[in-house]
Structures are given as structure tokens and as C-alpha cells.
Amino acid sequence: MGLNILALQFHAEVDPHTFERWLIGHTAELNQAQVDILTLRQENTYYGKPLQEKASLLLRDWFSNLIPV
């Protein structure tokens, strides 16, 4: 592959506000899948900001270590 490839199984660009909009936009699908939206909201309130900060650091560090081709 190479050193300039990064694969993630999450959306590092999501912030707490964007996540809330996603919940609103996908309410029907989440309800059909029996996902507890209230719990997701609570977890977003608790974890959202710290995770956003960690994701920013992850991406910043990765970008700063890219090797020019």
C-alpha cells in the first residue's frame, strides 16, 4: 500500500453538532433498527467534544507525517 494511506472505521470529521443533525436526519432508520436515540444523545453530550479533539489530533499528526511523492 504505502505510508500515505489511512483507513478509518469511523468518521473523524464528525463534531457533536453534526452528530445531532445526523440523528435528526436518520431518526426513522435508527428507530427501525431499535437504536436508543436518547442514549446516543447522552453519549454525544459526554464524549462528543473530547472525541472531536482526539480526532483532530489524529488527523493533524497523520497529515504532518505524510511523505511527499
pLDDT digits (tens, 9 = 90+) for 23-48: 999 999 999 999 999 999 999 999 99
State how many domains the chain has.
1
Query: Is residue 34 a part of any domain in this protein?
Result: yes
Residue 1 reports pLDDT greater than 70: no
CB 4 within 8 A of CB 69: yes
Q: Is residue 65 part of a domain?
A: no
**pLDDT above 80 for 3:** no
* Percent of the chain residues past pLDDT 70, beyond the cut: 99
Q: Which residues lie below 8 Å from residue 31, measured CB to CB, with a gap of 6+?
A: 37
How many other C-beta atoms lie within 10 A of the C-beta of residue 44? 20
Residue 21: inside a domain: yes
68 has a pLDDT exceeding 90: no
Q: What's the whole-model pTM score?
A: 0.73
Residue 7 lies in a domain: no
Residue 8 lies in a domain: no
The whole domain housing 39 covers 16-60
Residue 33 belongs to some domain of the structure? yes
